[in-house]
Amino acid sequence: MNGAREYAKLFTVGQYGKLYITAGSHARGKTFHIYILPEGVTAKPNGPNAPLNVDAVEVYGIVSGQPGWTETYGWLHEGKWQDDFAQLVKEKEAEIAARNLKIELERAKMEAAEKNKIQKLLDAY
């Protein structure tokens, strides 16, 4: 859904420092929530889209619309966690870009090897 799609494809459900992220989907699209955990707490997940089994505060989630149909996601509370999350997003995007570059380089290497093999066969004729 609006505000969830771009983040849900970057993250898996889990704890990222003091942030706990749930990324999932339903029939109409992606879902995405961010919770702040108390200091020193390790999250105890309660399913991919459910709140945690610890005291946590949801800071990113549904801000408008009807859940499951027309929801829009955004910041429920503003603070320095937004900067931490922005840094996580940059890191995830960099990981994906590096992985895509590696795949592209491997593909180019394989294509060059195939061209070389074909050319050798043609030259040997």
Per-residue model confidence as pLDDT tens digits over 55-65: 889 999 999 98
With a pLDDT cut of 90, the percent of the chain lying above it is: 61
**For 72-104, what is each residue's pLDDT tens digit?**
999 999 999 999 999 999 999 999 999 999 999
57-64 sheet: strands from edge to edge: 14-16, 19-26, 29-36, 57-64, 72-75
Domain assignments of the chain as residue spans, ordered by start: 5-123
* pTM for the full predicted model: 0.78
Q: What pLDDT is recorded for position 50?
A: 59
Q: Which of 1, 6, 18, 8 is nearest to 79 (CA)?
A: 18
- Count CB neighbours of 3 within 10 A: 19
Q: What pLDDT is recorded for position 67?
A: 80
Q: What pLDDT is recorded for position 24?
A: 85
Place of tokens 């940059």: 90
Are 30 and 9 contacting, i.e. CB atoms less than 8 angstroms apart? yes
**For 8-67, what is each residue's pLDDT tens digit?**
999 988 899 999 998 888 878 899 999 998 888 888 766 655 566 678 899 999 999 888
